[in-house]
Each structure stands twice: as C-alpha cells, then as structure tokens.
Amino acid sequence: MARMKFLCDEERCIECNACVTACKNEHEVPWGVNRRRVVTMDDGLPGEKSISVACMHCTDAPCQAVCPVDCFYTTDDGVVLHDKDMCIGCGYCLYACPFGAPQYPQEGAFGARGKMDKCTFCGGGPEEDHSHEELEKYGRNRLAEGKLPLCAEMCSTKALIAGDGDIVSDLFRNRVIRRQGRQETWGWDTAYQD
Amino acid sequence: MKIILIALTMLSLTACYEDTDVTIHEAGVYKGKVDKHNQTSEEREAILAKRFKQVQTDR
C-alpha cells in the first residue's frame, strides 16, 4: 500500500515561493491561511538553505492523537485528512504539530478561530469527490483526478517531490549518489546533463 | 566540611531528577463522515505511480 509523502531537497530549493502561490490558487485558500510556506535558514548568510513546509502527513500523526473530537483520519494512501464539520477549532492540533501545519481562518470581529485548515495532499476531504462542498471546504481533489499535489508537480527545480514514499526516497537517494558530496548548483553537469 | 559539601551537592542533585517517560496518546477512532473513493487503493496507487514518472522525473 502506498504512503504518500512530501520531500523538499534543500540543495535545490531556490525560495521562489511558487509552491505557496500554486497551493493558494489551486484551492482558493483565504487570506491569512497558508497551507504551505517556504522557510529559510541563515537568511542572507553564505550557505543559506530554504525548504518548503506543509503538513507532512505523519504516519503516527500527533494532531490525530490530540484531537478531542476525533475528526482526523488517514486514507489508504497515507494522507492525513480531517472532517471540517466536526472540527471545533480548539487549536490542540496546532500545538501538537511539529511543522505548524494547522491553520485557522480568523472569523468575527475579535479574530475568533474558525475551523482548522491544512494541506490535504490535494486529496480533498470526506465529501463526494469533485462536489461543490468538497471544493468549498477542502479545495480541489487532484488525487481523485489521478494527479499529484500541484506544489510539487510545478516545482521548477524539482526540489519539492510528492508521491509514494518508496518512489520518492529512491529518487532522492539517486540524487545524493550523483552529487557525490558536492552541491548541484555549480559545474557543467548542471546545465548540460544528459 | 568537605563531606558536608559533597552530601549537600548530592542532595541538591537528587532534586533535579526528571521523569523521562514519554506520555503516549493513542489516536481516537474517527467519528466523521466516511471518505468514499471511486477507485480502489491499488488502482489509485498504480495511477499515481504512473503520474509520478510523468511529472516528477529528475533533471
């Protein structure tokens, strides 16, 4: 059985934020909610690194363990999703998540927390596939269309990879072997490979 | 004096003991709506693996 995973290659990420834009556009994510974001370490210093972070769809998801209303479930593909109709917006999952994935739209005059929103691995939610309700609550269901998450599919440097964990790790292992301990950002092989 | 100092240090260090056992919370049983899919998980896996080869190939 497949276990869908994201992997971001920090040697390739150029902090273009196209994955963030693609995600927001694809799912019509409201203002103030970022299902995905690019984090830069040692910004402005030599050797700075960037990675694109969203829900990592943990195998043993802490959000799922702490949810007081048990609104999380893991699909057969290993994607962690939740039922927004059950979510009470308590914020426990935000504290439990090591990646800061859960997001809350601000509702009302005093910024009260709305229902939690997070990356769905472009897999929609517990509504009928391609229905209006699914689009409205969870965004597009690309997995049901036979497609992978848009953020990874359109990554120009192929830094962000999404797919079955076994295939993703094979691809990344080959990259590491090919690099032979040096960065891929210089050398003739980069531009004229194959 | 030295022995008293050692004894005091030992006593004070015993207070620094911290329980390192991790409290594990098991996930509860999902109570929401059932997420139905048109394809079986095997079919979807094959389709997505094919898609991966199309769009995520290395360069």
* pLDDT 10s digits, B6-54: 988 887 777 666 777 776 777 889 999 998 888 888 999 999 999 999 9
Candidate from A78-82, A103-107, A147-151, B10-14 with smallest mean pLDDT? B10-14
Q: What is the mean pLDDT of chain A?
A: 89
B35 neighbourhood in chain A, CB within 8 Å: 73, 75, 81, 124-126
Residue A69 and residue B37: Cβ atoms within 8 Å? no
**Vertex B4: Cα angle to B1 and B10 (nearest 5):** 145
Phi, psi of A147 (to 5 degrees): -115, 160
CA max distance for chain B: 80
- pLDDT for position A70: 94
Which tokens in the block code for residue A129? Answer: 């596939």
For residue A40, name the pLDDT band (cuts at 50, 70, 90).
very high
Residue A61 and residue B37: Cβ atoms within 8 Å? no
Residue of A nearest to B34 (CA): A126
- pLDDT for position A193: 53
* pLDDT 10s digits, A116-175: 999 999 999 999 999 999 999 999 999 999 999 999 999 999 999 999 999 999 999 988
Cβ–Cβ under 8 Å, residues A119 and A101: yes
Residue A72 and residue B59: Cβ atoms within 8 Å? no
Q: In the CATH scheme, what is the code of domain A4-183?
A: 3.30.70.20
> What is the Cα–Cα distance from A169 to A93, expressed in whole angstroms?
28
Q: What is the number of other CB atoms lying within 10 angstroms of the CB of residue A71? A: 25
A37-41 vs A72-74, strand pairing mode? unpaired
Reported ipTM = 0.84
- pLDDT for position B17: 67
- B 16-45 near A (Cβ less than 8 A): 25-39, 41, 44-45
A77 neighbourhood in chain B, CB within 8 Å: 41, 44-45, 48
Q: Distance between terminal CA atoms of chain B? A: 72
Which tokens in the block code for residue B39? Answer: 């394809």
Q: What's chain B's Rg over C-alpha atoms?
A: 29
Best residue in B25, B29, B42, B58 for a mutation probing chain A (most A CBs within 10 Å): B58
> What is the Cα–Cα distance from A171 to A77, expressed in whole angstroms?
19
**Taking the domains of chain A in order of start, what are their residue ranges?**
4-183
Q: Residue with structure tokens 């390192």? A: B20
- pLDDT for position A105: 87
For residue A81, name the pLDDT band (cuts at 50, 70, 90).
very high
- pLDDT for position B59: 67
Cβ–Cβ under 8 Å, residues A163 and A5: yes
- pLDDT for position A186: 56
